[in-house]
Structure 1
């Protein structure tokens, strides 16, 4: 008589490119997902060694090649300009990849990444992590189940203040490092992804205006936008107004989404992630997170009344991505195709701001590739 044992799968070996704030967030989430944090490469070998020691990662190494050799999955947390090339190199080496957004700074490069992942047959994810707040899932379920009714309009904003002063600067301000779009590609992409995720509708066309408040920051010319205002039409005819700013005093991470339907409205505010406002003609409610509530799907890590936030959402995202590497299916995991979608929306917003005209966004078949 033979004996069988159930053994837990071996821990994934996680590698990291970049050693800044986002690498810290990613590494905490990877550790919570019980990965083995094996290697990190940064802008220089010395910086890689220092960042690895600071983040509790086994080794600081020289470059992408060394990280790929040691890892099963790699988190790309480098400046935007490097995302596509580094991700394609990792995919060619057969590694799974979680790439910070934007997936690429152009649509053509994002499409090339999707092609490369398809050719390699590996998993790729982009951290649109606000999908992983339990109250976002509650809102999505209210829309999907018909409680909200037909979506009529959406009001959304993503407001920060970390670039309020002329002396405030960062590598993202430089278009050579961050790409042609800053505020919208960085945070507006989150807002649009959240809109489409919660409503189940696609943005069909946009009319946008952008503003660059300071022509220089830190003595360097600025060509990327500080503010973006967008009117969007969804694929069912609903209208959305969206405001994105990195110069809104007092707003540290003010992501809000309010969906208005024929029966109910729902509002989520990331700075108050335990709450969901449900509006009605009579009897509006402010509902607190409940692990037994609609759409939670096990996302609540702690009982009701014990606050959860951004890092918890990020941790849930990484756990979902790692499960995807092992073959689990999820209709919530943001993949490279969602990163391509964000690149398309960003390009349309920039084109509209330049031409001062409505610009349509192609809703291409999910299997579209660069070559057909």
Structure 2
């Protein structure tokens, strides 16, 4: 068993990355920003691994995932591979003694997600899922306002996550194949982010839901489509607040339109991911637009503000903050709001509930 940082404690945290696509680049950049050397990468073929190593600045390539996981000079493995491989790769990394950052969905079934949660707990490793929208400072500002009672009693939630990258029948991706992407695509891929953000900011959980899904094209290019393009969800939170959620990868002009709006008896709050420097605060007798400013922010928000006011922060900054918190946890700290494999399991429960409701056309209780 490799031990790495589990024994060395505060020493340098060394990173290995499985995968070579866009998310691997984001993970690698965040690890390097945290001062972690990118020791090695592995991809689906040696040629792709070599290309990824060049682009990401890795020290070496490994022949395959098994070789990377077996490496004794890696402390944390980032799993950035197709969805169906997440569970076996993450389990192998845990068994080898590594800490793990696994892309969402953590697994394509709740059984596999629970197996990962249990394995990480038994091994005593840090195991995190990058629900990184939690790491926008203005999201933390929103959650702080809810926690201290400014919003009052939560009444309703209006939320959406809209993209357009799968708009045409010719738009194709491995995710449309259920064997690689899993039984859910739009909801598991981006709806999971939306629900995590909703539950994180409100401090409440979705208790029950009813859903409709739509698959617009049965085939894309030369591939059979095995999962949904659109999901619409009506949900009830634990307090009785009602929520509507629309998730689509076929909304023309929407590139990454994640929006969360809360309505309470005291105020409303609206965060839009494409305008991450702002938080809209609505009141019956007037509204205001709060701009990110570490000088006036809540402490939970200020700790994530790497730049002074007026110097925009964005998605990579949020990801950098997430990986920095992973490293803090590896060194024995307990950073507030770090999304773990338990949050990945929660997303798997919600995904299965959405698919079950859509199939049966009925309300479904969401497992804890």
TM-score (norm 2): 0.95
Structure 2 equivalent of residue 312 of structure 1: 317
Summarize deviations over 1:297-319 as a string: whole Å, max 9, x none: 41111111111110000000000
Structure 2 equivalent of residue 276 of structure 1: 279
Match of 1:144 among 144, 147, 166: 147
Partners of 1:187 and 1:177 in 2: CA distance? 16
Q: How far is the alpha carbon of 1:45 from its aligned partner?
A: 2.0
Partners of 1:197 and 1:289 in 2: CA distance? 19
User: Mapping of 1:1-372 within 5 angstroms?
Assistant: 9-68=10-69, 69=71, 70-292=73-295, 293-294=297-298, 295-363=300-368
Q: Does structure 1 retain, via aligned residues, the 8 Å contact 2:10–2:331?
A: no
**Alignment root-mean-square deviation, CA:** 1.0
The SS at the match of 2:152 is: coil
TM-score (norm 1): 0.94
Figure out how many residues of one structure are paired with residues of the other and give that number: 356
Summarize deviations over 1:15-58 as a string: whole Å, max 9, x none: 00000110000000000000011000100122212211121010
Q: How far is the alpha carbon of 1:120 from its aligned partner?
A: 0.9
Moved over 3 A (4+): none
The SS at the match of 2:301 is: coil
Gaps of 5+ in 2: 1-8
Q: Does structure 2 retain, via aligned residues, the 8 Å contact 1:160–1:245?
A: yes
Structure 1 equivalent of residue 4 of structure 2: none
Q: How far is the alpha carbon of 1:84 from its aligned partner?
A: 0.2
Gaps of 5+ in 1: 1-7, 364-372
Q: How far is the alpha carbon of 1:326 from its aligned partner?
A: 0.8
Partners of 1:71 and 1:157 in 2: CA distance? 38
Summarize deviations over 1:82-112 as a string: whole Å, max 9, x none: 0000000000000000000000000000011
Partners of 1:65 and 1:229 in 2: CA distance? 39
Partners of 1:134 and 1:65 in 2: CA distance? 37
Q: How far is the alpha carbon of 1:64 from its aligned partner?
A: 2.4
Q: Does structure 2 retain, via aligned residues, the 8 Å contact 1:64–1:90?
A: no
Partners of 1:222 and 1:106 in 2: CA distance? 19
Partners of 2:279 and 2:84 in 1: CA distance? 36
The SS at the match of 2:345 is: helix
Partners of 1:109 and 1:322 in 2: CA distance? 25
Partners of 1:38 and 1:219 in 2: CA distance? 37
The SS at the match of 1:256 is: strand
Structure 2 equivalent of residue 368 of structure 1: none
Q: Does structure 2 retain, via aligned residues, the 8 Å contact 1:53–1:60?
A: no
Q: Does structure 2 retain, via aligned residues, the 8 Å contact 1:50–1:60?
A: no
Summarize deviations over 1:278-327 as a string: whole Å, max 9, x none: 00011210111111312314111111111111000000000001111111
